[in-house]
Structure 1
Amino acid sequence: MEYLKPIILCLFISLFFSCEDNKDNEAVDASEMDLAQSLVGTWLVDSMATKVVMVPAEDITILDPNTPGTGSINLSGDVNASLNYLTRMTRYSNNYSADTYDYFKVSNYPLNDTSWAMDRVDLRVSQSSSSLAIETFNDYFSNFINEFYYDFNTSSFSVGVNHAIDPTDNTIMSWSSDSYTYDAWFTFYLESPTQIILELTVDDWPSEASYNLYSESSYEYYFQANQEFEFANETKYHSISLGSGYHYVTVYDTYGDGGIQGAVRTPASEGITITGSIAAATESVSAGESKDIYDGGESSIQTMTFNSDGTVIISYSEDQIEDDELDLWYINDNSELVIIDGDYYDGESSNIVLILTLNQVGNKKVMTSSMEWCEYLELEESQCIEEYLSLENELLLNNGAIESIQQVLEIKLTPLGSNSVAYDGR
């Protein structure tokens, strides 16, 4: 394919820079040439963000997930937190019936803070799965919940919970008195340093029984001598701090018929109590006003180099593989940047065409591309209607409240250098 590149490149330059729209031998419009010249060179891609933008057909009120609401949902017990952000509140439709299902999420952090701080707690309630889930920096808890334990009020954008998660079983390992004869090593593993409780109960013959605890990480027994019992059916408890790794409870019986039953546990769980209610912060959006409803975050594609010969080098991951397809660019009659990204994937070639508007912000350029949501998803008309209805339900809006939805790509560029060959429109 390499030998075809000069031919393809000449055809491209001839088609788009010399005779676009049958303008035989006419000079390229000066403004287009100035704009093209300003792009020639290498640019650092500060960010590449994708957004979904909604334009309502009527005045609407929607949830504001980044402002604290009124009230809070409070957790106590194994998790202690006060959650005052209602970050998601939606009602899903069932595809096979007229049923709808409630879903909400509350947190002690706003939606636009995606970090996981040590004190972060997220709580989710899903009616469709009849479940409640709590996620913290270190743990995840889930529990069955039903309609009697939560409130969901769409008119006031408020939710409430009154529920308790029972204490969890904190047993790491256990064994019965007949699990061995003369001796045995019962093994358990700790992923991190842990406070454990060793519980042992002897049978009617205490003089026959003894025990100890060995740690592989220290290669030592915890007790200097094997421990013994004083009377029949005695139970002993030891609270011990152990490091990570494998540990072994060693038990002995001189008669050879076992006799000690035991368990290794972590300190007792308290369970979690969840109570309270929160009315979300809201914001108003006027008819015809654009509103971001999803921000896909930002990701850098490193650099872009616009060459004066009409080629562009895009240094993101696809160009790290054996992709010898040409990437091309030009400025169209509407002063928009057109990038034809020659893609090569799984043995097949294809072109991805991006049309972007250009704005100058200081020494930076902001490139923006917008496409209607259904067109972006390649949906048929009937599917598009369902897509709009689904989003209206999720945002708790009336049917027909959304006029349009746009998929928006925004790329921010900072100049790194320019090419020595000037762009002259040929």
Structure 2
Amino acid sequence: MTHEPAPSQQHPDEHARSGRTAGTGAQAHSHTHLGPLHLSENEHRRVVTVLAGLVVPLVLATLIGLAVLWPTGSSPVGSQSFTAGSASPESATVTGLDVADCVQAAAALGSVSDGSLLDSAICAEITTGAAAGVVMPVHVPAESLPAADVGDRLNVIYTADALVGGTPFVFLDYDRQVPVGALTVVYLVVVVAVAGRKGVLSVVGLLLSSAVLLLFMIPALLKGGSPMAVTLTGSVAMMLLAVYVAHGVSVRTTTALLGTLAGVVLTVLLSLWGVAAANLTGAVGDDALTLTALVPGLDLRSLLTCGMVIAGLGVLNDVTITQASAVWELHAANPALGRGRLFTGGMRIGRDHIASTVYTLAFAYAGTALPLILSASLIDRAVIDTVLSGEIAEELVRTLVSSIGLVLAIPATTLIAALLCRTERTGHAEP
């Protein structure tokens, strides 16, 4: 862990005691979110020793867990065929919203029979495959039709068997590579422009954490690995990469990491109890049922618990980083503060975090589940019964568990940071 230089607010005798002159204060940086932190040489050595004694075994245990749980043999990812029989995915571009414009051309090719077209069809030029360059009717589901416009790129399915009964091209989805790619570029430019080097490192940390999720956790879960063991190992690996790559190896980041892990443990315990006590099955929705059929033996209840843990990692890490920084800033400003006063001072700051996190996850769920909530509200049923029904109850428990773990992680991080700080009787400490 790096030795962080002293801030400009230090007293001259503190500079001398730490091997620096008072004149270096003119070059020191001001306090920032994870900026410079003053620790005397002895205290820095003690804190680093304690943190290393905690983190090094954690890193070793994580590496061992990755080695033991890493999926071997053929990966189940991509093992299911995307299309059936002679069907093949193709690309198309919308040329008109009135299907009459291309019915005659398609009929001349013998690919459309009289009366075979559905009302929800559009004209599109096929851009790949054997029919490239041909304008054909494409059936589009009614719920997807309002978004169609001339020039839109589509992904379609070509089925040769449908040549006799109607158009062989059926709408699959819109091609979103260009808009999503543009938003990604804008996101990266904004992050780098605003946050500079820190923003670049944060993006790198995100990519490495995503690699753990995609290359380890998902294949291991599909191969039948223990959901809880895989999730805990993967979560710790993701946090190690994200925190240290984005913020660097230091006393503050290590303190925040320990607070994050404390929050993860609390979230795991709460989710295990919540899933069991509320009799949640995890088998709601078509995706869960399909997954059960394709992956025999998969425990959906354990998978639901794992999802609760992963869902709260990002916000959990954010509040612990900020909280650890706050406690160390208080200690750097006044090394004579005792652990009790550091804890109470840090919690005064932490209460603001708690006040905001109370609604953060709730609003996030309400936004993503808005169609489900609207559908449920149409049913003539008691509100409490609607809220506690299947799919809504799962999301409710997920939100409550993540929120409780988030709130409890704040005092846990504050306590860890306060215990690591040692009171220094300098004789010049400000009240």
- Normalised TM-score (structure 1): 0.20
Structure (1 or 2) with the greater strand fraction: 1
Which structure is higher in helix share?
Answer: 2
Q: Structure 2-normalised TM-score? A: 0.19
Q: Which has the higher contact order (CA 8 A, sep 6+)?
A: 1
